[in-house]
Every structure is written in structure tokens, then in C-alpha cells.
Amino acid sequence: MAENSQPPNNDNQQEIEELISSLPKEKWWRGSGLTLYQNFWVPSDFIRGVITLRRHFIGRDSNILLASKPKTGTTWLKALAFSVLHRAQFRPSVANANHPLCSSNPHDLVPFLEIMLNGQPAGHVPDMSGFTDLQLFATHVPYHFLPESIHQSQSRVIYICRNPLDTALSSWHFWAQANLEGGAGDWSMEEFFENFCKGLDFYGPFWDHLLSYWKASCERPERVLFLKYEDLKEDTARNLKRIAEFMGVPFSKEEELDSVVDQIVEMCSLSNLKELDVNKTGDIFGYENKTFFRKGEVGDWANYLSPSMVERLENIMKEKFSPFGLYFTLKKTS
């Protein structure tokens, strides 16, 4: 689709509301809910934004979209990608108190499209006039939920995934800490795990979400970059160079000699981000900023999941991923 393509006409708002009311719904933890839309469990609070994104968002060739399932490294990827893209404007260094990461949570710097569009009237072409200068966006929706303007344009998508065991554990910890209505910490790991395996989770099923981007990356590697959290943790600098190259802003030899890559890695490390005052206080999306920064370890699942849980997830991984050539090496924390 060309950059100046015209957006589609507005939908009938009543039709959208009737569609939403007809969709299956499930109660989620502590007052929130999930809505089953096109075989994925979308947070009920964001369903209008997801529909608006799918039907009406007009992507541009310059757009870079960071995609992920929740709790797979989204916050870290946002910090890294923002710092890479804007490194000429904002010197990346832990000593630079004027860098936007020192005053803003990564989720403020790289907005989620479906949340940004959620406040728009359902069924209406969104008013994007206030976001014309933005190049970097994020989303939690599966690949085929993205609008045709993204698929048909030269937009680039970076997807980060994480092994299912650590994803399940990190998700449970997040919801146990999140400040939502209805109480706190009353959902056992066993109950959460059961729902996770059934696909009843934010933007679940996990397997289908991940495979939607994996298949796209195999078909269009020049437009969809598929990253594993574990690889990014193991060699952050090398993968940061891959990200920069894919985004169209590769590091120069001079920048590498000046340790710009290492400075971004250090500045965006979990240990640095979680100690910033902006991430110790305040909230975003109704969650305290600090809940987005826990351990970030690879293999922490071994400290929480029972052998039967591990076996169940390993069997699901083999069934869902192996036919498509996707594998995870499961490591335990030392």
C-alpha cells in the first residue's frame, strides 16, 4: 500500500458494538476479562482498539513495529530499539541524565497501537494527526491481526519471543504484583499454569501467537525479524547490531570503536532500568512501573515449575513448534 493511501470508510458503530457483545468472554484475574476474537483471547478493555487497529490503521513504509506476547521481553526491546533509533539525538550513556529513558518508562516512549487507538470511537477511522512524527510503535496482537497497510507496505516488524516456561512464570509473577481491582495475589501458580496451557491468557494461545510471527519471518525475513529473548540475553551486543541493521540504522565502524553499542547495552540493561527513579514510582496502563522489572533471568522456571508442569509444556512445545522447525533450548538458572 502506498504511503498516501486513503483510509477505509467508517464502520457502523452499532455493528461494532453488536460484534463485541456477541463474542465469547471469560473472567480473568481480579476484575479484568478476556474476549475471544478471531481465535485469540484479547483483553476486554482493549478489544475496541484491536478492532480499530486491524480495520483502520494506515501503516507507513517508515514504520517500525515491535511485536510481542506479554512478558516476553517487551519492555527491554522497547528500550533497546528506542535508544538505537534515536542515538544521534540522545547520547546513549548511563551518565546522560537527559536521556528520555531517565525520565520516561519505555512504554511511554514506544506506545502500543491497540491501546493508543482504544480511546477512539469504535468503528471510526482513528485520528492519527498527533502521531505523524512517530516512527516506532508496539503491539501485542498476533501477526494476522495487523492491518493490510502493514502487510502491504515496507513497514518492518521486530518480534521478540521467550521460551514458554519462563513466559508462564513471568506472567504469573506480573499478575500477582499488578495493581488490579479485586484483590491481590490470590491466583495460584497451578491455576494460572492450567489457563496458560489452555491458551486462556492475554493474547493467547501463546503457541499460535508465536507461530504467526515465526511463519511470517520465514516468508518475509526482510520485513519480519524474529528474536528469541534467550539469544538477546546471551549476546546482547551482537543481537543489538542485528536490530539496528534491520531497522535501517546500522552502527558505523566509528560508533563501534566509540563503544556506542556497549553503552546502549549497559543503559538498557535490566539492572540499570529498574534502578531509575521513573521505574520505581508511577504507573502506566493502571500498573505500577516497577512491576515491569523483575528478574529477567533465563531458566528461572526451574525454581517454580514442578516436573509435571515442565513435562506438559515440553510436550506442547514439541507438538506445536516442531512441525515448523522452531525449537527452544531450555536452560536452568545456576
Q: What is the pLDDT of residue 184?
A: 40
| Strand 64-68 relative to strand 156-161, pairing | parallel
Which amino acid is it at 68? S
In a domain, 4, yes or no: no
CA 276 to chain centre: 21
Q: How many domains does the chain have?
A: 1
Smallest CA-to-CA distance from 267 within 126, 128, 87, 115 is with 87
- Phi and psi torsions of 162, nearest 5°: -145, 150
Active site residue 140: yes
Find how far residue 189's CA is from the centre of its chain: 22
223, part of any domain: yes
How far, in Å, CA of 262 to CA of 324, rounded?
A: 34
pLDDT at residue number 286: 61
Say whether pTM exceeds 0.85.
yes
**Assigned domain for 152 exists:** yes
Grid coordinates representing 314 are: 515440553
Strands 40-43 and 33-37: antiparallel
> Of 56, 99, 107, 140, which is the active-site residue?
140
Range of the domain at 149: 30-324
Per-block average pLDDT, block size 10, for the chain (334 residues)?
A: 43 81 87 91 93 87 95 95 95 88 91 84 58 80 94 94 92 71 62 92 96 98 97 96 97 96 95 82 63 70 91 95 92 64
Tell me the three cell numbers of residue 8. Answer: 477505509
Q: What is the DSSP string of 252-317?
A: PHHHHHTTHHHHHHHHTSHHHHTTSHHHHS-EETTEEGGGG-S---SSGGGGT--HHHHHHHHHHH
Look at residue 151 and tell me if it is in a domain: yes
**Beta strands 136-139 and 64-68: pairing type?**
parallel
Instruction: State which H helix or E strand residue 219 sits in.
Output: helix 206-219
Is residue 24 situated within a structural domain? Answer: no
Q: ω into residue 205 within 30 of 0, thus cis?
A: yes
Residue 1 lies in a domain: no
Q: Are 59 and 147 in contact (CB under 8 A)?
A: yes
CATH code of the domain covering residue 46: 3.40.50.300
Distance between CA atoms of 215 and 79, rounded to whole angstroms? 26
301 within a domain of the structure (yes/no): yes
Encoded amino acid at 225, one letter: L
Residue 22 domain-assigned (yes or no): no
pLDDT for res 6: 41
Provide the grid cell at 257: 570503536
DSSP H/E element including 52: helix 47-56
Rounded Cα distance, 60 and 270, in Å: 31
